[in-house]
Structure 1
Amino acid sequence: MRFIHTSDWHLGQTLHHFERRFEHQCFLDWLLATLVTEQAQTLLISGDIFDNANPSAAAQKQFYQFLQQAKARVPALNIVIIAGNHDSPGRLEMPAPFLAGMDASVIGFVPRDAAGQIDVSRLVIPLQDTQGVAAWCLAIPFLRPGDVPRVADLAEGLDPYTAGITALYQQTLAHALSLRQAGQPIIALGHCHMVGGEVSQDSERPIVIGGSEALSAKMFDANIAYAALGHLHLAQMVGQQAHIRYCGSPIPLSFAEVAYPHQVLRFDTAGETVVDVTPLLVPRAVDLLRVPNKAAPMAEVLAALAALNLPADLAPEQYPFLEVRIALEQPEPGLRAQIEAAIEGKPVRLAKIETRFAAKNSAELEDETLPELAQLQPDAIFNRLYRSKYAADAPPELMAALAELMLNAGADEK
């Protein structure tokens, strides 16, 4: 059986206020063509379909239009979708009865029966080929602490949340094993943070407050042929195990991800095992540029921007996004105006200006006690904060502006 594993689309995302509908549509069009050319039998979407829990109508239209087109282009396609931490479980599951008619299974919540017990049978999905059931899928969405079973007699030092997730996977697997016939592989979907996974700091939010969210690959039993994971945007194996994978995001979701190999994963099964896992690189519809690659002084940055040589025939939606990286000794008045002048007329969109200052020593403020700080005037505190960040006294015009602000505030109070 042939599978395509993808996740972390983040439909509706904006990059520093620029919408990205064009890039997402290019990816979805490419994915449709890939499903056809690769003769895929199952599409696995491992969460974070949308960028937030209340996606725009345009983002939802993109998603459901894609599903309709995928089923029209590949009529026998199985589709399994789970919710990620960015998704609204209820919103994702709302159209489930309609999607079921397209052989699309959507799991947003951990289902429970009338007694409030987890119904693991609804997390086990049969995958069909022309002969009938060919494989089984454990479709486990992003799990919040209240979603997981409580583990009795918890070993000392073991986190209840991670122990509960492991127990849920074990219970779901046990049900799948009770259904499986010889030669049928078991595939697991999950949206979680595994131990050792490399995180993109600019675009991935922590899943669980408290730092207990990292899970061990040991929770995936040897009977699981492949674990299709979502959440981390960098494509990677977990613990150097080729059958436990993050496919990564299909487009760079921040400038920190410009060098990522954005892709989906194709894998095949033979009997109960995976025989091949192949990355399929997603063409980049819009470039993200960092100029320069490392922060440099203002004069060098302006020269690099002036030297930018970009294709002249790009449509506006194809203009690259630009992050400008500048090393400064002190604040630079009119910084943005100088940058905008340097790129005037160039087919580029200025998304971000990153400024870096020389290393500062903040020990002066750290050594002060609260009573000592209380004795200082606001302008003295402001100047110390400025000095801790920029390694220089605040300029007179800034101190004068602060004095005027304080004077006006005092007048308002009277």
Structure 2
Amino acid sequence: MKLIHTADWHLGQSFHGQDRHYEHRCFLDWLLDELETRRPDALLIAGDVFDVVNPSMKAQELLYDFIVQVHERLPRLTVAMIAGNHDSGARIELPGPLMKRLRAHALGRVLWLDDGTLDAERLLVPLENERGEIKAWCLALPFLRPAEVTGSRAGGEIGDDYIKGITRVHEALISAAEAKRQPGQALVAMSHAHLRGAAVSEHSERPIVIGGEESLSAALFPPSIGYVALGHLHRPQQVGEPRIRYSGSPLPMDFSERDYPHQVVELEFIDETLERIRAIPIPRAVDMLRVGPAPLENVLEELKGLEVPKDNGISREAWPWLDVRVRLDAPRVDLRAQIEAALHGKAVRLICISTEYRRGNAKDEAAVTLDDLGPQALFERAWQREYGAAPDEDVVDDFNALLQSVLDAEHREGETP
């Protein structure tokens, strides 16, 4: 059995106010061709399919047109997709009955039965080979929100302990899968989570749980799970062992992600044994250029030297994104005008100008913008300024609990009934 693992598409992402529809369309066209060439038995999409809980019609059309085209080209291919923390679980599941006719399964939420046990059956997706034989089971675990796995909705015995709730879900689902599998059938888990020890990109992943508990243990996935297809972290990597890995995002979501490769993962099983894992590089449809940080005169010289003339025949939607970072001694009211003049006649899209200032006699200490800091860092700076000391761990945990309640409230407002 052959599978393709991908995640974190973030369809509909707004990149400094600009849409990335062209880049996502190029990726999905490439993926369609790769699927047709490699002919896997299943495609696993491990969450953050969309960038926001209320994606645009344009973003939704990209997804559903892709699923229809996949089924037209590869009628036997199974698609299994879960919701990530950026997605609305209800929205992901809404077209489920129609998608199943296209051999596509969309799981966005965990549900509990009247007796307080997990409805595990709905989270187990059979993966068939080209002869229609079930050769694996996909344990489809969407992003687990605290409200779904704690308190009375989780049977009343977990209380407010989020980690215990997550552990209970994993144990119940793995137990159900092990009971259902037959000899020769593999178990493949798909999850959208942050595992402890994994490398995080600089700016792109938002906090998803409270305190330090966004990091889960890889021990949640016992050796009986042949492969763990992870989503959420955008850097492709394995976590502890080759069978547990993030495929990474197909596009760099931020300039901090431009320097590492983007890929999907191909894996092959022989019966229950994982035989091979291969990374398939994704071609980049639009380049990401960064100039600086450097003094203004150096930045202007480098911009004038960019070899990207507008008459190169490339359509505007394929022009590179450009991030410019300038070191200044004092504000310059003509900064943007000078930069735009240096770019005259060049096929680039300037989307960000950042400035850094010298402070007194200090050595080139860079000014930090709001974009460079997350909510927790801003809170810690404010606390330090007010009280003259860093907040202790309990205060930070309380802040993150409040932050998560705000994020959850925003998510509920965006849910489709």
TM superposition score normalised by structure 1: 0.83
Matches within 5 A, 1:22-61: 22-61=22-61
Provide the C-alpha distance between the structure 2 equivalents of 1:264 and 1:319, rounded to a whole number of angstroms: 24
Contact 1:235 1:248 in 2 (8 A): yes
Contact 2:116 2:156 in 1 (8 A): no
Name which structure has the greater RCO, CA cutoff 8 Å, separation 6+: 2
Residue identity in the other structure for 1:207: I
Provide the C-alpha distance between the structure 2 equivalents of 1:368 and 1:38, rounded to a whole number of angstroms: 57
Residue identity in the other structure for 2:301: A
Provide the C-alpha distance between the structure 2 equivalents of 1:77 and 1:110, rounded to a whole number of angstroms: 25
For the pair 1:281 / 2:281, whether they are aligned, the reply is: yes
1:209 and 1:36, CA in 2 relative to 1: closer, same or farther beyond 3 A?
Answer: same
Match of 2:186 in 1: 185
**SS of the residue 1:134 aligns to:** strand
1:359 and 1:128, CA in 2 relative to 1: closer, same or farther beyond 3 A?
Answer: farther
Contact 1:162 1:213 in 2 (8 A): no
**SS of the residue 1:325 aligns to:** strand
Structure 2: gaps of 5 or more residues: 366-381, 388-417
Matches within 5 A, 1:300-311: 300-310=298-308
Match of 2:172 in 1: 171
Shift in Å, 1:116:
5.5
Provide the C-alpha distance between the structure 1 equivalents of 2:103 and 2:297, rounded to a whole number of angstroms: 58
Contact 1:84 1:230 in 2 (8 A): yes
1:221 and 1:151, CA in 2 relative to 1: closer, same or farther beyond 3 A?
Answer: farther
Shift in Å, 1:229:
0.3
Structure 1: gaps of 5 or more residues: 371-414
**SS of the residue 1:336 aligns to:** helix
Match of 2:412 in 1: none
**SS of the residue 1:224 aligns to:** coil
Shift in Å, 1:103:
1.2
TM superposition score normalised by structure 2: 0.82
Match of 1:121 in 2: 121
Shift in Å, 1:2:
0.3
Match of 2:261 in 1: 261
**SS of the residue 2:210 aligns to:** coil
**SS of the residue 2:297 aligns to:** helix
1:46 and 1:367, CA in 2 relative to 1: closer, same or farther beyond 3 A?
Answer: closer
Contact 1:301 1:326 in 2 (8 A): yes
Greater shift, 319-328 or 352-361, is seen at: 352-361
Shift in Å, 1:76:
0.4
Summarize deviations over 1:335-358 as a string: whole Å, max 9, x none: 111111110110000011122223
Matches within 5 A, 1:143-182: 143-148=144-149, 160-182=161-183
Match of 1:344 in 2: 344
RMSD of equivalent CA atoms: 2.3
Q: How many residues align?
A: 362
Shift in Å, 1:369:
7.6
Provide the C-alpha distance between the structure 1 equivalents of 2:230 and 2:123, rounded to a whole number of angstroms: 16
**SS of the residue 2:122 aligns to:** helix
Provide the C-alpha distance between the structure 2 equivalents of 1:94 and 1:63, rounded to a whole number of angstroms: 14
**SS of the residue 1:276 aligns to:** strand
1:348 and 1:184, CA in 2 relative to 1: closer, same or farther beyond 3 A?
Answer: same
Greater shift, 47-56 or 131-140, is seen at: 131-140
Provide the C-alpha distance between the structure 1 equivalents of 2:126 and 2:233, rounded to a whole number of angstroms: 27
User: For the pair shown, which has the larger CA radius of gyration, 1 or 2?
Assistant: 1
Provide the C-alpha distance between the structure 2 equivalents of 1:30 and 1:368, rounded to a whole number of angstroms: 50
**SS of the residue 1:303 aligns to:** helix
Provide the C-alpha distance between the structure 2 equivalents of 1:3 and 1:168, rounded to a whole number of angstroms: 24
Matches within 5 A, 1:296-335: 296-310=294-308, 312-335=312-335
Match of 1:90 in 2: 90
Residue identity in the other structure for 1:298: L
